[in-house]
Amino acid sequence: MNKIARNPATTLREPAQLIAHGLAPAASLSDLEQVAARYAVAVTPDIAALIDVEDPDDPIARQFIPSAEELSSQPGEDADPIGDHAHSPVDGIVHRYPDRVLFKLVHVCAVYCRFCFRREMVGPGKATALEPAAYHAALDYIRSHREIWEVILTGGDPLMLSPRRLAEIMADLAAIDHVKIIRLHTRVPIADPARVSAEMVAALKVAGATTWVALHANHARELSDKARAACAALIDAGIPMVSQSVLLRGVNDDAVTLESLMRAFVECRIKPYYLHHGDLAPGTAHLRTTLAHGQELMRALRGRVSGLCQPDYVLDIPGGYGKAPVGPNYLSQANSFSRADSVPEKGEPVSESRYRVVDYCGDVHLYPPKS
């Protein structure tokens, strides 16, 4: 399946290197240099090894190999599409929901995804990590907000930090009484599985807080044997994993591909968590599909795989208003709203008005059924 002949020994960061390894056509050099001048490029050897260079529509290449289409922005696209800045009280922290914060420690990733919603904030040339003073100010912010139950380490990719530094950060966070959950969002187990060493796994386990890892993958082929082993090392150490994926045109926007991806996660003991609708990041229109298509795919998925394999299809509302579930609705009212629809008082008999509910085949039923 994999026709790559010139496997790179190191991460490819320049368009000329991509061309030399058969990952982009020579004629694209000037366009790709323009793209690379604006957005970071990195393709690790592990990712390059997944790409079929003879397939012009390869779904892995589409995620990581830059394209001239990134040079055109569409109306509505925004450098900060989900409004991180509007909710950033101190450097490195995004506090959008009361009980959790994002903690952005690093601005580098093992690979750079062509659809990244933080593409204007990550990559070489951006600050690589929070300065010590900013790190301590961010910790003080978390410490002084007792409502923060969960800290989500994101970025950039937190697994780009050394195990030693990660262990310090995990210990600092776990020492805060009200922080019970530390969740790390990462693509490293796929892009550079060797980084998930025994030291890295040990660094993520910490007394005083529970660690979760969210793996970002968009196609079942990303879950290579090495990636599966890296995830198994985390899970065997007692670290539960969830998935996050982005719905991407030409990568996973058909029911069969989505089904294989969700099955692959569950086979790896990773619970499918989020399927994100593509954010309005600049130069990413060619990778987005429509909400209507996303709902159709979620309906198809419901008919094909068990609840264990179902992610939540979500849209990050532009402007920083948070995530909204945007999956298909299976319930509609069959008659007008009445007192019977309200929450019953204690001791009150339950009485429903009638609803229409759609089953996984698309057939409509009444609830309660007509007696």
In the complex with ligand SF4, the residue whose CB is nearer, 216 or 288, is 216
> Comparing C-alpha atoms, which of 218, 222, 278, 267 is closest to residue 244?
218
C-alpha 163/C-alpha 188 separation (Å) is 13
> Comparing C-alpha atoms, which of 110, 195, 100 is closest to residue 152?
100
Q: Rule CB under 6 A: say whether 122 interacts with ligand SF4.
A: yes
User: How many residues at the interface with ligand SF4, by CB under 6 A?
Assistant: 11
Q: Rule CB under 6 A: say whether 92 interacts with ligand SF4.
A: no
Active-site annotation holder among 39, 109, 221, 231: 109
- Pick one of 61, 101, 116, 280: the residue that binds ligand SF4 (CB under 6 A): 116
In order, the DSSP letters of 257-295 are HHHHHHHHHHHTTEEEEEEEPPP--TT-GGG---HHHHH
Would you call 81 helix, strand, or coil by DSSP? coil
Q: Is 118 a catalytic residue?
A: yes
Q: Rule CB under 6 A: say whether 183 interacts with ligand SF4.
A: no
Question: Do residues 47 and 64 touch, judged by C-beta distance below 8 A?
Answer: yes
Q: What is the DSSP letter of 106?
A: B
Q: Is 304 a catalytic residue?
A: no
Neighbours of 209 (CB within 10 A): 18
C-alpha 92/C-alpha 18 separation (Å) is 32
Q: Rule CB under 6 A: say whether 118 interacts with ligand SF4.
A: yes
Q: Is 31 a catalytic residue?
A: no
Q: Is 13 a catalytic residue?
A: no
- Extract the tokens encoding 173: 């966070």
Q: Rule CB under 6 A: say whether 187 interacts with ligand SF4.
A: yes
In the complex with ligand SF4, the residue whose CB is nearer, 156 or 294, is 156
Q: Rule CB under 6 A: say whether 157 interacts with ligand SF4.
A: yes
In the complex with ligand SF4, the residue whose CB is nearer, 157 or 222, is 157
- Pick one of 12, 48, 109, 209: the residue that binds ligand SF4 (CB under 6 A): 109
Q: Rule CB under 6 A: say whether 58 interacts with ligand SF4.
A: no
In the complex with ligand SF4, the residue whose CB is nearer, 112 or 265, is 112
Q: Is 268 a catalytic residue?
A: no
Stretch 229-258 residues interacting with ligand SF4 (CB under 6 A): none
Q: Is 361 a catalytic residue?
A: no
Active-site annotation holder among 38, 269, 304, 323: 323
Q: Is 113 a catalytic residue?
A: yes
- Burial grade of 241 (CB within 10 A; 0-12, 13-18, 19 or more): buried
- Pick one of 18, 47, 48, 112: the residue that binds ligand SF4 (CB under 6 A): 112
Q: Rule CB under 6 A: say whether 153 interacts with ligand SF4.
A: no
Place of tokens 């139950």: 149
Active-site annotation holder among 84, 113, 288, 309: 113
Q: Rule CB under 6 A: say whether 43 interacts with ligand SF4.
A: no
The span of 105-113, 256-264, 284-292, 330-338 binding ligand SF4 (CB under 6 A) equals 105-113
* 241-246/312-316 β-pairing: unpaired
C-alpha 272/C-alpha 279 separation (Å) is 19
Chain Cα centroid distance, residue 81:
15
C-alpha 185/C-alpha 168 separation (Å) is 18
Q: Rule CB under 6 A: say whether 155 interacts with ligand SF4.
A: yes
Place of tokens 């990568």: 251
In the complex with ligand SF4, the residue whose CB is nearer, 157 or 259, is 157
Element at 181 (helix H, strand E): strand 181-186
Given the rule CB under 6 A, which residues bind ligand SF4?
109, 112-113, 116, 118, 122, 155-157, 187, 216
As annotated, the active-site residues are 96-97, 100, 109, 113, 116, 118, 279, 316, 323
